[in-house]
Amino acid sequence: MSLLEVNGLNSYYGDSHILFDVSMRVERNEVVALLGRNGAGKSTTLKSLMGVVTPRAGSVIFDGTDVAGRKSHKIAQAGMQLVHEERRIFGSLSVEENIVLAGLTASKRWPLNRIYEMFPRLKERRNNRGNELSGGEQQMLAIARALIRDPKIILLDEPFEGLAPVIVKDLMKACRDLAAAGQTIVLVEQNLAATLALAQRIYIINNGHIVHEGPARELKAQPDILQRYLGV
């Protein structure tokens, strides 16, 4: 059985119907990407998996249990972590306090050392406050806050957005190391090159509908799809 099996997910904001019968699956140890234009429904999909948005129909079978409709802290307890686009770190707390605090309520935890091995930059900055960090360091911290809880699956919402290429390179290396260590990842991105380099399988969402599913290596040879749904 897949680690995550999503079937017929429908989500709304008020009366606006945003997700239409979204179905996808993620195997254990797999890196799956969800691509799509701005406003296509990528963040809403991740929020619906995580229970930040409550889907109105459909199932989210996570590690054998349907978590659709549960509160997000319950879903977090079950081993899912969402790193939001807006990162959500505590600016007034130190890097280390941010990480430790995030791990407090977890049933299992990474040792801090493992976090610092993955992000040496955070170790150097451990006593700096969140609001003293660069954008790239904030993103590392946001990911670290998810990893400290030893998640079964981590959902990354546009982790490379707005970051300098040199930082993107560091972050991509961290993601590759994570994947190599067996971490299951769902990656939402608009950065096609980064996505194709990291993900094994790709879904494309357009106007709230999944319009493509396939191996990443095949997508490179399908410029028509890239053009139609991503405008590249």
Site of interaction with ligand ADP (CB under 6 A): 13, 16, 18, 36, 38-44
Query: In the complex with Mg ion, which residue's Cβ is closer, 11 or 43?
Result: 43
Q: Which does 41 bind (CB under 5 to 8 A by kind): Mg ion, ligand ADP, none?
A: ligand ADP
Contact partner at residue 44 from ligand ADP, Mg ion, none, CB < 5 to 8 Å by partner kind: ligand ADP
Question: What DSSP character marks residue 132?
Answer: G
The C-alpha atoms of residue 176 and residue 189 are separated, in whole angstroms, by 15
From the list ligand ADP, Mg ion, none, partner contacted by residue 16 (C-beta under 5 to 8 A by kind): ligand ADP
Backbone angles phi, psi at 134, to 5 degrees: -75, 170
The binding site for Mg ion (CB under 5 A) comprises: 42-43
Distance in Å, CB of 40 to Mg ion, minimum = 8
Q: Provide the minimum distance between the beta carbon of 118 and ligand ADP in the complex, in angstroms, as a whole number.
A: 26
Structure tokens at 107: 């049933």
Residue 175 Cβ, how far from Mg ion at the closest point, in Å? 18
In the list Mg ion, ligand ADP, none, the entry touching 39 (Cβ below 5 to 8 angstroms by class) is ligand ADP
Phi, then psi, of 5 in degrees rounded to 5: -130, 115
Task: Kindly state the smallest distance separating residue 39's Cβ from Mg ion, in Å.
Answer: 8
18 binding partner (options Mg ion, ligand ADP, none; Cβ < 5 to 8 Å by kind): ligand ADP
Query: What are the E-state strand segments in the chain?
Result: 4-13, 16-26, 31-35, 57-62, 65-66, 80-83, 153-157, 184-189, 201-206, 209-215
Nearer to ligand ADP, 40 or 226 (CB): 40
**Between 35 and 122, CB nearer to Mg ion:** 35
C-beta closer to Mg ion: residue 43 or 138: 43
Helices (H), 125-215: 135-147, 165-180, 192-198
| Whole-number Å distance between alpha carbons of 156 and 76 | 14
Task: Determine contact, residues 158/189, Cβ cutoff 8 Å.
Answer: yes
- What's the distance, CA 215 to chain centroid? 18
Output 21 or 124, the one with its CB closest to ligand ADP.
Answer: 21
